[in-house]
Amino acid sequence: MSRAKCIMVQGTMSGAGKSLLCAALCRIFAQDGLRAVPFKSQNMALNSFVTKDGLEMGRAQVVQAQAAGVEPDVRMNPILLKPSSDVGSQVIVNGEVRGQMAAAEYFRTKKKLVPDIMAAYDSLAEEADVIFTATPQGLCASLVNEEILSKTKIIDLSADFRIKDVNIYEQWYKIGHPTPQFIPEAVYGLPEINREAVKGARLIANPGCYPTCSFLSIYPLLKAGLIDPDTIIIDAKSGTSGAGRGAKTDNLYCEVNESIKAYGVASHRHTPEIEEQLSYVAGRPVTISFTPHLVPMDRGILVTAYASLTRDVGDEEVRAAYEACYKDEYFVRVLEKDVTPQTRWVKGSNFVDVNFKIDPRTKRVVMMGAIDNMVKGAAGQAIQNMNLMFGLPENKGLKLAPMFP
């Protein structure tokens, strides 16, 4: 039996919806006649499920297994941490208790559990058509090897394979890259630009949320040579789900409500990703100014980008550039004249709304875009890539209407 194709679903926090999304995907694949199994290397939860073999595993993977119509198996969740105090947990490996560990002790020893994780993963990969994983930055890169890629496909939602220059990756993410030899073959998974490459890829680097919205807003005018790439400024605003669900002071309701703030100013890690993709279009290095902002809403990204025009142009020519790029794209909607994108118009959907406004006074153009950061900005785009890789309709499972109106 050939090894399963793998899709990775990641998020920036607990409770982003990764588990629910994986369950939905497992059900979709089962309905399509595919055998899918979930996989999450490590879970932390007080509630556990006991398999028919008397072994413990996380309930999230049980729900996903049930959605896929397969028997829950501890290999789907090889490590389960059951908190016993504020600083300690019971450690369960492959369904069996390994002992009680303080957080510091577990942090020192967790790398020793990687072989257990890989054994479970490899075993499942030999049996399933699709595996969904959700792991932190750097972990996917540490697990990928030629044996795995020779038998399965991986869609990675972390930044591990997005940036081709490993030195830039390590500079911005402050971690070493354990498998840089796989970076050259990784396909940047923006289907609207790299559709054909995605279809034949073994390894997909699913784009970040800000880069997805920023690039799709700017791309048509940069491709048409209508803007000066040296003048691009990107102002982006995101809901709090983009910052994670962890108990961070800056994310508390009282801190976020009735307020807006810039963060990651001149240092946000999505900057080199945006610059690299724009550079490919421009045919030379592009340096941008990128400033994200946190706004008091749950989800959504709004990008407002600015650039100087290379010559006098009118609305018709600029609109023609957008239409030339997106007229056949199911998920990209070029709005009518003077209609500005709104995050609520794409909430809960895989759509991207874009538009522009020429400012003749400054001879600049304002490029605007809106996405749901958790759908087109993350998991929805991963599904879109998976559909292409499996030869399925690109919008399969993604025809959800926005939550508004």
Tell me the catalytic residues: 209
Give the DSSP H/E element, type plus range, for residue 124: helix 114-125
Tokens of 205: 């680097």
CA distance 271 to 210: 9
Tokens of 251: 């994310």
User: Cβ neighbours of residue 35 under 8 Å, at least 6 residues apart?
Assistant: 29, 68, 70, 127, 128, 129, 130
Helix axes 380-389, 191-199, angle to 10 degrees: 40
User: Cβ neighbours of residue 45 under 8 Å, at least 6 residues apart?
Assistant: 58, 59, 60, 80, 81, 82
CA distance 150 to 167: 26
CA distance 261 to 33: 47
The residue assigned the tokens 């800056």 is 250
Burial 51-78 (b: 16+ CB within 10 A, else e): beeebbbbbbbbbbbebbebebbbbbbb
Single out the residue of 341, 345, 374, 368 nearest to residue 356, CA to CA: 368
CA distances from 397 to 4, 27, 314, 401 (A): 20, 10, 38, 11
CA distance 217 to 221: 9
* Residue 405 exposure: Cα atoms within 13 Å on the Cβ side: 0
The residue assigned the tokens 């049980």 is 62
CA distance 131 to 153: 9
